[in-house]
Amino acid sequence: MKLFDTHTHLNVSQFHGKEKDYLQRAEEAGVGFLAVVGFDRPTIERSLELSQEYKHLISVVGCHPTETIYYDQVFEDDLHKWLELDSVKMLGEIGLDYHWDTSPKDIQARIFRRQIAIAKEHNLPITIHNREATQDCYRILKEEGLPSAGGIMHSFGEGPEEAKRFLDLGMHLSFSGVVTFKKTEDVRQAAAITPLDKLLIETDAPYLAPVPMRGKQNEPAFVKYVAEKLAEVRNLSIEEVARITSENAFNLFNWRPEEEAK
């Protein structure tokens, strides 16, 4: 089975006008499916265009925590409309970001809770951005509860104890290039204890390029290096990692492309 990059930003300026080339490279690397995540109005609109053009792409739409200062009723009304589109399979990325000082923490928390509620209204899963805000992120998810459709801790970057806490809430854990970095043994330990049915892979391209591509612009093709590292950590073949993580993604997104449904 082909690999599924469950979180990529093929919709940002670094890829504009060259998406076809990057998708060709991804296909050559064994990557067959992508979830393109929009985090503000321009990137959401571009994600929707891409998922209309390419049938092996799906869209994820939501308001990123750093953008929550701009969240208003107009955006929320549009969010409801976007979530009804056939190509949109998840709400996100939402959550908390205490690294970039662009939106006050109280606004981030309020819009985080609001978007969880909206995901429940639409019976869609959520994908969570957590940067330097683990305790508050966990607390809000625990208080609000997940949508019945579930959710992802995207680009999981912590150790096994935190992994267990989010897994206990019912979350999937998605591992990015971070799991390949030299100094992230704790993340590899988290990957080692994640139940196979909760395991996902992603690039977060154009960010977080994995070893051996550190220092380069990340791209969907590079998710194969994440899969290779997980295969090593879990003592599985790359084919097994591809099958397990892609099946998990199909189930979570409630989506299966036509060629896989046969």
pLDDT digit string, tens, across residues 169-221: 999 999 999 999 999 999 999 999 999 999 999 999 999 999 999 999 999 99
Cα distance between residue 184 and residue 239, in whole Å: 24
CA distances from 143 to 47, 51, 107, 139 (A): 31, 33, 17, 6
**Phi, psi angle pair for 127, to nearest 5°:** -120, 135
Report yes or no on whether pTM surpasses 0.75. Answer: yes
CB–CB of 40/67 below 8 Å? Answer: yes
Domain segments of the chain: what residues?
Answer: 3-257
CA atoms within 13 A on the CB side of 178: 20
Assign a CATH topology to domain 3-257. TIM Barrel (3.20.20)
On average, the pLDDT of the chain sits at 97
CA distances from 51 to 60, 204, 243 (A): 10, 17, 23
When pLDDT is averaged across residues 33-48 and rounded to a whole number, the result is 98
Q: Cβ of 86: how many Cβ atoms within 10 Å?
A: 10
Residue-level pLDDT at 262: 47
pLDDT score of 259 more than 90: no
Burial of 247 (0-12, 13-18, 19+ CB in 10 A): middle
Residue-level pLDDT at 101: 81
Band (pLDDT 50/70/90 cuts) for residue 21 is very high
Cα distance between residue 237 and residue 242, in whole Å: 9
